[in-house]
Amino acid sequence: MAPQSASALQHPRRSLGNRHLAQAKKFLKLYNSSNQTNPQNLAWAEQSARQAVLYDFTNEDNWRLLVELKSLRSDKSGIYAVLEDLFTVLGRPPERLDSLKQTDLLEHGSALLEAAFSIDPLNPDNWWNTLTNDESKEIFATRMLSLDLRDPRANILFGRRIERFRSSQDEERFILLSTHLLSNRPTNHEAWTELGRLHERRREFDDAWLCYDQAQSHFPSLTVRDEFRGRMVSSMDSKSKMWNAPDLVRREEFLARMESLARRLGEPVSEVQKREEIESKPDEKSELLQLLESSEYQAAFFLARRIMSRGEDWAEEYLLRAKEGLD
Name the residue ranges covered by the structural domains of the chain: 6-121, 126-234, 278-326
Q: Helix 105-119 crosses helix 60-72 at what angle (to 10 degrees)? A: 170
Residue 96 in this model has a pLDDT that exceeds 80? no
What is the average per-residue pLDDT within 27-51? 92
Whole-number Å distance between alpha carbons of 286 and 279 = 15
Query: Does the pLDDT value for residue 186 go beyond 60?
Result: yes
pLDDT value for 236: 63
- Separation of alpha carbons 180 and 14, rounded Å: 27
CATH number for the region 126-234 comes to 1.25.40.10
Q: Are 62 and 45 in contact (CB under 8 A)?
A: no
| Each residue's pLDDT tens digit, 277-305 | 433 445 888 899 999 998 999 999 999 99
CA dist., res. 27 & res. 66, Å (int): 13
Residue 38 to residue 40: CA distance in whole angstroms: 5
Q: Which pLDDT value is given to residue 93?
A: 75
